[in-house]
Amino acid sequence: MSRLSETERPSLNRILSIQTPDLESQEHIIRYQLPVAIKRQNIGLVVIDSIASNYRAEFDHNRRNVTDNATEQERRPEGKTMADRRSQLVRLGAFLRDLARKEDIAVVISNQVADRMSPIGWSQPTSTPGITPDSLALDHQMCWFTGWGDQRHDLSNMKTPSLGLVWTNQISARIALIRAARYEHQGKTQRWLRLVFASWSCPTTGAGIEYEITAAGVTAVTKSDGENTQLNEKDEPFSTIG
């Protein structure tokens, strides 16, 4: 980047940013301030990082406060909390889709990942992706719309994007970013990008596209002939978009 002329160097001058410390401010900014900023500043790309942060902080706290021995009356707030979160996510997804179509902009939303627990008594199948052999179970089918678990080499990678199936139904595409932690002690981190689903393209096959982050930006890694890149059970999700 130092070899670029001053006019060619990347700049943050045309990037607007604002912090949303809680869910209430996030809702107000997205619904009222964002549409005005798009019109006034001629914005073409909106990035929200990360969509799950305030939802998890706001709603998961109430769920953790409910004990296993809670009475039915005490458990009702938990169900109401999840219903409230679901309705808010649906409204937010619909609003952002309408905004993108109306203003002809792109909306990119980063998400977080969480651990996916295997129920007691289920064993990891050797021939079928998923954590249960029941093909009708959500835990089996989610491997294909979350981005982790559908490849033989990452069956043991028990991760899943946050906000569940509700948020999955609000987005038009999902991109999974995977980091190979085993190489970090050598001073090199390997990363892969996978298109999980999209309306305009087929899903990425195999491990995905290897990429690297340098001072010049994000670039694909060019492999020599015969060199094969593959993930295994030591690789871990780094993030997920959507």
What type of residue sits at position 192? W
* Highest-confidence segment of 34-43, 67-76, 158-167, 225-234: 34-43
**Would you state the pLDDT for residue 88?**
92
* DSSP secondary structure string for all residues of 153-186: GGTT--EEETTHHHHHTT-SEEEEEEEEGGGGGG
More confident residue, 229 or 38: 38
Region 27-56: what's the mean pLDDT? 93
pLDDT digits over 112-144, tens only? 888 776 554 444 444 444 456 677 777 777 777
Question: Which three-class secondary structure state does DSSP give residue 57?
Answer: helix
More confident residue, 147 or 95: 95
Sign of CA dihedral 65, 68, 71, 72: positive
Region 149-174: what's the mean pLDDT? 75
Rounded to whole angstroms, the Cα distance separating 76 from 120 reads 26
pLDDT band at 155 (very low <50, low <70, confident <90, very high): very low
Instruction: Note if the pTM is more than 0.75.
Output: no
Q: Report whether pLDDT(241) > 80.
A: no
Q: What are the sequence ranges of the domains in the chain?
A: 12-111
pLDDT digits over 162-187, tens only? 888 899 999 999 998 887 655 555 66
First to last CA, the chain: 30
- In contact, 179 and 189? CB cutoff 8 Å: yes
Q: Quick one: tokens of 35? A: 């549409």
Question: Which three-class secondary structure state does DSSP give residue 135?
Answer: coil
* DSSP secondary structure string for all residues of 76-127: HHHHHHHHHHHHHHHHHHHHHHHHHHHHT-EEEEEE-EEE-PPPTT----SS
Report the largest interatomic distance among the alpha carbons of the chain, rounded to a whole angstrom: 68
Rounded to whole angstroms, the Cα distance separating 239 from 119 reads 24
**Would you state the pLDDT for residue 192?**
87
Rounded to whole angstroms, the Cα distance separating 175 from 197 reads 8
**Would you state the pLDDT for residue 100?**
96
More confident residue, 40 or 70: 40
Q: Report whether pLDDT(68) > 80.
A: no
Q: What are phi and psi of 89, to 5 degrees?
A: -65, -40
- In contact, 171 and 145? CB cutoff 8 Å: no
In whole numbers, what is the pLDDT of the chain averaged over residues?
A: 76
- In contact, 207 and 148? CB cutoff 8 Å: no
132's torsion region: left (phi>0), alpha (psi -120 to 50) or beta?
Answer: beta
**Would you state the pLDDT for residue 190?**
82
